[in-house]
């Protein structure tokens, strides 16, 4: 597989160039100009591998190698191609590139699958533009209705469909997919944590993915002059928001068992240095391997926020995303382990603290996930890095698994 390494290196490199923040990591928001350039590149790479390319009414991209059994469901391989603000070059793209490389190997070995092989590149997994996240996969399985999708807006007030039209995408294309068209979904992803690197093991076979929720808290007060309003006459929305945020870490620490909480985004209005803020909006991301902890934390967070509802301050909490912890498919885990053994690649079981499209698909089709090590455990930052040697090992396992699952003949 000599060519694999150079192909994956050049694809990761190329995708990393489609960023709104050159030299400050990857910022590729859904339906942005950078999305358009990345999607054109992904589509051309799909075509170069002989795949039939289509997009759906969300802008998800599919490249299909038709199986010989008519109407048979697809073995889907892929990940997302959006990013967080100032993120890295691997979160998402590693899995898209892995899918493209599996397709390249099918073509090189002239393999004819009985079940179709479909490489997928999904939109808005991170939720960085429209909030919530896992949007491409939730849309495909019908967990995001047309109405909900059409009503999502970015922070400038641009709706999903307006943004799609702006880069030439067609929101009227088919969206929801019958689960009967999916045989399995395989996702390779970077670990985004330190465990594989600490153990010096190149492959993690994912057992389960944490449950997670994202809340949006809005705190409103009264705007006023920063110099002339006495301290006892203020309803400062940001001061209240800050007091709430400062108490969040202890809620998670008290809950225990690796429950985590993050207030990651904060917008202040009107955001003037000499104006008392009249509105602060922030997100609260809560995760745990046990659903009960997530549910408890939602209640505790709501109660904390509600306790600030006084003295001219008003609060509200909206749930942007809720998804239960998911166990991944036993047979696919066994298949990955068997193929790792055959290829003499060491592996270990691992749980995912990050959310993935795989968890959405897992209620609709068989899902398997592989992790590769992240340098220093870093992710969602420009320093995020994984080696092409590890990526290649993951791809070899995916390729072998895909041959079995598609019943490929060569
Ligand atoms: C995606 O990276 C997530 O875990 O939020
Ligand atoms: Mn991510
Ligand atoms: Mn990701």
Q: Write out pLDDT tens, residues 35-94.
A: 999 999 999 999 999 999 999 999 999 999 999 999 999 999 999 999 999 999 999 999
Residues with CB under 5 A from ligand 3 (ion): 91-92
Residues 6 or more apart whose CB falls under 8 angstroms from that of 279 comprise 218, 219, 220, 221, 237, 268, 269
Task: Tell me phi and psi for residue 255, to 5 degrees.
Answer: -65, -40
395 CB under 6 A from ligand 1?
A: no
Is the pTM higher than 0.85?
yes
Task: Give the residue whose CA is nearest to atom 5 of ligand 1.
Answer: 355
pLDDT at 410: 86
Q: Is 221 in the pocket of ligand 1 (CB under 6 A)?
A: no
Q: What confidence tier does 1 reach under pLDDT thresholds 50, 70, 90? A: low
How remote is the CA of residue 225 from the centroid of ligand 1, in Å? 39
> What are the pLDDT digits (tens) for 303-317?
999 999 999 999 999
pLDDT, residue 2, reads 61
pLDDT tens track for 342-383: 999 999 999 999 999 999 999 999 999 999 999 999 999 999
Q: Are 358 and 367 in contact (CB under 8 A)?
A: yes
Atom of ligand 1 nearest to the CA of 285: 5
CATH 3.40.630.10-classified regions of the chain: 2-210+325-406
Give the number of the ligand closest to the Cα of residue 384.
Answer: 2
Distance CA 409, CA 142 (A): 33
* Average pLDDT of the segment spanning 388-410: 97
How many CB atoms neighbour CB 201 within 10 A?
18
Q: Helix H segments across 286-409?
A: 291-306, 330-342, 357-361, 388-406
CATH class of domain segment(s) 2-210+325-406? alpha beta
Q: Would you say the CB of residue 384 lies under 6 angstroms from ligand 1?
A: no
Q: CATH fold of 211-323, please?
A: Alpha-Beta Plaits (3.30.70)
Q: Where exactly does CATH 3.30.70.360 map onto the chain?
A: 211-323
70 contact partners, CB below 8 Å, separation of at least 6 = none
DSSP string covering 51-87, please?
PEEEE-TT--EEEEE--SSTTPPEEEEEEE----TTB
81 phi and psi angles, rounded to 5 deg: -125, 10
């Amino acid at each position: 597989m000599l060519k694999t390494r150079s192909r994956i290196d050049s694809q990761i490199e190329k995708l990393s160039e489609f960023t709104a923040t050159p030299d400050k990591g990857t910022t590729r928001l859904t339906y942005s100009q950078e999305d358009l350039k990345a999607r054109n590149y992904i589509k051309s790479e799909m075509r170069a591998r002989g795949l039939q390319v289509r997009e759906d009414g969300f802008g998800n991209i599919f490249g299909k190698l038709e199986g010989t059994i008519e109407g048979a469901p697809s073995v889907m391989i892929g990940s997302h191609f959006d990013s967080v603000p100032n993120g890295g070059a691997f979160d998402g793209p590693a899995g898209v590139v892995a899918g493209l490389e599996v397709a390249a190997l099918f073509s090189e070995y002239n393999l004819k699958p009985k079940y179709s092989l479909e490489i997928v590149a999904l939109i808005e997994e991170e939720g960085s533009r429209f909030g919530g996240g896992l949007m491409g996969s939730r849309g495909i399985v019908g967990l995001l209705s047309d109405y909900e999708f059409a009503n999502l807006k970015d922070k400038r007030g641009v709706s999903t469909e307006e943004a799609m039209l702006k880069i030439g995408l067609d929101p009227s294309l088919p969206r929801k997919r019958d689960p009967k068209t999916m045989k399995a979904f395989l996702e390779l992803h970077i670990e985004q944590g330190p465990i594989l690197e600490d153990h010096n093991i190149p492959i993690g076979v994912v057992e389960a993915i944490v449950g997670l929720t994202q809340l949006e808290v809005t705190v409103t007060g009264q705007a006023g002059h920063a110099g002339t309003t006495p301290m006892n006459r203020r309803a400062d929305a940001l001061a209240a928001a800050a007091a709430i945020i400062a108490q969040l870490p202890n809620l998670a620490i008290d809950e225990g068992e690796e429950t985590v909480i993050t207030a990651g985004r904060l917008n202040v209005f009107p955001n003037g240095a000499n104006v008392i803020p009249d509105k602060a909006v922030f997100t609260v991301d809560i995760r745990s391997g046990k659903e009960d902890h997530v549910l408890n934390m939602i209640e505790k967070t709501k109660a904390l926020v509600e306790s600030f509802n006084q003295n001219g301050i008003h609060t509200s909490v909206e749930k942007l995303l809720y998804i239960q912890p998911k166990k991944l498919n036993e047979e696919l885990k066994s298949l990955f382990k068997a193929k790792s053994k055959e290829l003499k690649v060491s592996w270990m079981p691992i749980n995912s603290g990050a959310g993935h499209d795989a968890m959405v698909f897992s209620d609709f089709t068989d899902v398997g996930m592989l992790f590769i090590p992240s340098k220093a455990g870093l992710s969602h930052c420009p320093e995020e890095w994984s080696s092409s040697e590890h990526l290649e090992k993951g791809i070899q396992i995916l390729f072998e698994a895909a041959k079995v699952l598609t019943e490929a003949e060569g």
